[in-house]
Amino acid sequence: MLNLSNLDLAIIAGWVLFMMGYGIYISKTSKKDTANDYFLASKSLPWWAVGGSLIAANISAEQFIGMSGSGYAVGFAIAAYELMAAISLLIVAKFFLPIFIKNEIYTMPQFLERRFSPQVRTGLAFFWVLLFVFVNITSVLYLGALALKTIMGVPLVWAILGLAVYSASFSVTGGLKAVALTDVVQVVALILGGLVASYAVLDAVGGGVMAGLATLVEKAPEKFDMILEKSNPEYMNLPGISVLVGGMWIANLYYWGTNQYIIQRSLACKSLEESQDGTAAAAIVKVILPLIVVIPGIAAYVLGAEISKPDEAYPWVISNYVGAGFKGIALAALIAAIGSSVASIVNSATTIFTLDIYRPLFMTRDVERHQMLNANENNSPQLTVQEEHHLVKVGKIAALIFLIIGVLIAPFLGNLDQAFQFIQEFTGFVSPGILAIFILGLFWKRTSATAALVGVVVSLPLSIGFKLWFSHIPFIDRMGLCFLLTSLIMIIISLMQNKNNDPKAIYYDEGMFRTSWKFNLMSLMVILAVGAIYYFFW
């Protein structure tokens, strides 16, 4: 546990009160008359809000604590998760977003109905809500509270409750606009606080940032191998060249391209160009993030940190090398990361529940439409003012209920051994099948609705089967194999059903995938930076 000065405590308390006040202010002043206002921020987010919110939604305690711990144990190779995510963001921006935005998609289940059938939409909508509420919200609350308990000595239950109240101040009443605009402020604190810790420990290692990095490479060259050999004890987690050509693409494209609580920001942008620019800006930040979340762990290793397990590396760095006042900034960054992630997941779970489950199944006119399984219409009936207000109310109630469920369940995750690894592997069981449905649905016109349903059904047992009978294969590689096999099954079924293009196939306009010079420039910067890192630390 850290020894925090009164100045540190004042900074942390001031930050929490400021962000809650700012979030409440935005919630009170922003327009929330319609479902579009509440769930999609009136489709008015600028590129900088999209970029900042993407990063804030993504970064949480597991990056600060977990990736620094992996930096201590594995080395810079763990940065592959961030670097591959940067490239994945560019792919999503260039090839996924034009289709989603042109077709006025606001949720991922809505796209699945538009492309396949109401059954596919409803089935995966229920799955995503359950995943967000019982896995994502609870795990982020638990891991965040565990970090605060370890670093500050706050009792776990009170830390969980405090994080929930902090997140609720802008996620429940304000909707996506309040979440996104508070994210922009929080991502600044996140990066600033992270850089404070990195600078302090690098200065201790070598007398400055560049000198410190050079000293780390000199004293621990094995920690800068980006491609691990089979003899490395961490090979099963980062299986050599497969990291670049295998299943990590599945995890990243699923997360950044089909995960509602991430991509919802891009869908709420004022235009496709701004959405793509914001996503590319987030990719640039992802390239920089290893300096914040991995380097402190490697520095702790070089400095001979006296810790009992790798995940204690980041708290050790803050405790020993970050001065009074700056500790408060670093911990405010951690709280910002946790709070923004919780708020983002709550908002997206609420969006899917309200628009993809409650509206089509329980609002009279949409029930009638939902029962027309062969309906070709693309738009739901126009809602009245009263119905719009009702949907917003349902969304707020759902957000509060989901947070309460998270608070009640989160403490019990402590009974799981390696809770974070369990959650990651569980998510990896379902991501290959879902990504296969989206990839084939977006880019192959003969994909049928039956193939999509089968893809949903077979993916999970395939993943479990690979784990039971091929446990010697690295988990990332098993994900890649499951994706390929699920895709093959879907292709065979589609070829048997559709002699020509599917009636609900996606068609592209000429030039749909052209991008602006700003996006192209930022993409080039990201690709060159990632290429340079792998070239120098191969």
End-to-end CA distance of the chain: 37
For 31, phi then psi, to 5°, come to: -75, 130
**pLDDT tens digits, residue range 263-277?**
888 888 888 999 999
pLDDT higher than 50, residue 416 = yes
Give pLDDT, residue 418: 47
Nearest to 287 by CA among 53, 531, 68: 531
Sign of CA dihedral 346, 275, 193, 205: positive
Which residues make beta-bridge pairs with 269? Answer: 45
Lowest mean pLDDT among 37-51, 135-149, 236-250: 37-51
How confident is residue 398, by pLDDT bands cut at 50, 70 and 90?
A: very high
Q: Write down the pLDDT at residue 450.
A: 93
Spatial contact of 483 and 428, defined as CB atoms under 8 Å apart: no
- Given a cut of 50, whether residue 487 has pLDDT beyond it is yes
The pLDDT, as a whole number, for residue 401 is: 94
**For the chain, percent of residues with pLDDT exceeding 70:** 92
Q: How confident is the model at residue 366 (pLDDT cuts 50, 70, 90)?
A: low
- Distance, in Å, from the CA atom of 258 to the CA atom of 120, rounded to the nearest integer, reads 14
String of b and e for 175-206 (b: at least 16 CB within 10 Å)? bbbbbbbbbbbbbebbbebbbbbbbbbbebbb
Q: CB-based burial of residue 496 (10 Å sphere; 0-12 exposed, 13-18 middle, 19+ buried)? A: exposed
Helices (H), 92-137: 97-102, 108-115, 118-131
**Which two structure tokens, joined as six digits, stand for 34?**
């319609």
Question: Looking at the predicted structure, is the pLDDT value of residue 374 above 70?
Answer: no
List of residues 6+ apart from 221 with CB closer than 8 A: none
Q: What is the CA radius of gyration of the chain?
A: 23
Which phi and psi (to 5°) does residue 45 adopt?
-70, 130
DSSP H or E stretch at residue 18: helix 6-29
**Per-residue pLDDT for 372 more than 80?**
no
pLDDT tens digits, 293-327? 899 999 999 988 888 878 788 888 888 888 878 88
Q: Is the pLDDT of residue 239 over 90?
A: no
Burial class (CB in 10 A: 0-12, 13-18, 19+), 277: buried
Report the SS3 class of residue 223: helix
Reported pTM: 0.87
**Length of the chain, please?**
538
pLDDT for 33 beyond 70:
no
Which residue, 152, 136, 81, 207, is CA-closest to 330? 152
C-alpha–C-alpha distance, residues 503 and 513, integer Å: 23
Which of 126-135, 194-203, 415-424, 520-529 tops mean pLDDT? 520-529
User: What mean pLDDT comes out for the span 45-68?
Assistant: 82
Mean pLDDT in residue range 53-79: 82
pLDDT tens-place string over residues 430-466: 889 999 999 999 999 999 999 999 998 898 898 888 8
| Residue 328 amino acid letter | G
Q: Taking 90 as the threshold, does the pLDDT of residue 58 lie above it?
A: no
pLDDT digits (tens, 9 = 90+) for 131-173: 889 888 888 888 888 878 877 888 889 999 999 998 888 777 7
**pLDDT category of residue 37 using cuts at 50, 70 and 90:** confident
Cα gap 456→467, rounded to integer Å:
18
Confidence of residue 371 (pLDDT cuts 50, 70, 90): very low
H/E stretch holding 335 reads helix 326-352
Q: Return the pLDDT at 93.
A: 95
With contact defined as beta carbons under 8 Å apart, do 336 and 56 qualify? Answer: yes
Q: Shortest CA distance to 265 belongs to which of 186, 194, 345?
A: 345
d(CA 182, CA 189): 11
Give the list of residues 6+ apart from residue 332 with CB closer than 8 angstroms, or none: 11, 12, 15, 16, 189, 193
DSSP, collapsed to helix, strand or coil, labels residue 45 as strand
Q: Is residue 34 exposed (0-12), middle (13-18) or buried (19+ Cβ within 10 Å)?
A: middle
Please tell me the predicted confidence (pLDDT) of residue 263.
87
Q: Which residues contact 440 (CB under 8 A, 6 or more apart)?
A: 447, 451, 452, 455, 487, 490, 491, 494
Confidence at residue 375, expressed as pLDDT on a 0 to 100 scale: 42
**Per-residue pLDDT, 161:** 93
* 46 DSSP assignment: -
3-class DSSP assignment, residue 233: coil
Query: Band of the pLDDT at 421, cuts 50, 70, 90?
Result: low
Of 61, 41, 17, the C-alpha closest to 347 is 41
pLDDT at 189: 80
Rounded CA-CA distance 321/323 in Å is 6
Residue 68 to residues 79, 218, 424, Cα–Cα distance (Å): 10, 19, 17
How much is the pLDDT for 407? Answer: 93
At 172, list the tokens. 């429940």
At 81, the amino acid letter reads: Y
Give the angle 98-104-107 at the CA atoms, nearest 5°: 95
Question: At how many degrees (to 10) do helices 385-409 and 326-352 cross?
Answer: 130
Asked if 456 contacts 431 with a C-beta cutoff of 8 angstroms, the reply is no
Give, as one character, the DSSP assignment of residue 76.
G
Q: Walk me through the domains of the chain, giving residue ranges and CATH numbers.
A: 52-372+383-415 (1.20.1730.10), 418-507 (no CATH)
What rounded mean pLDDT belongs to the chain? 84
* pLDDT at position 376: 44
The answer to whether residue 77 scores a pLDDT higher than 60 is: yes
Give the mean model confidence (pLDDT) for residues 49-63.
81
Q: Note the pLDDT of residue 412.
A: 82
Which residues make beta-bridge pairs with 45? 269
C-alpha span between 378 and 56 (Å, rounded): 33
- What is the distance between the alpha carbons of residues 480 and 406, in angstroms, rounded to a whole number? 31
Which stretches of 29-117 are assigned E, i.e. beta strand? none
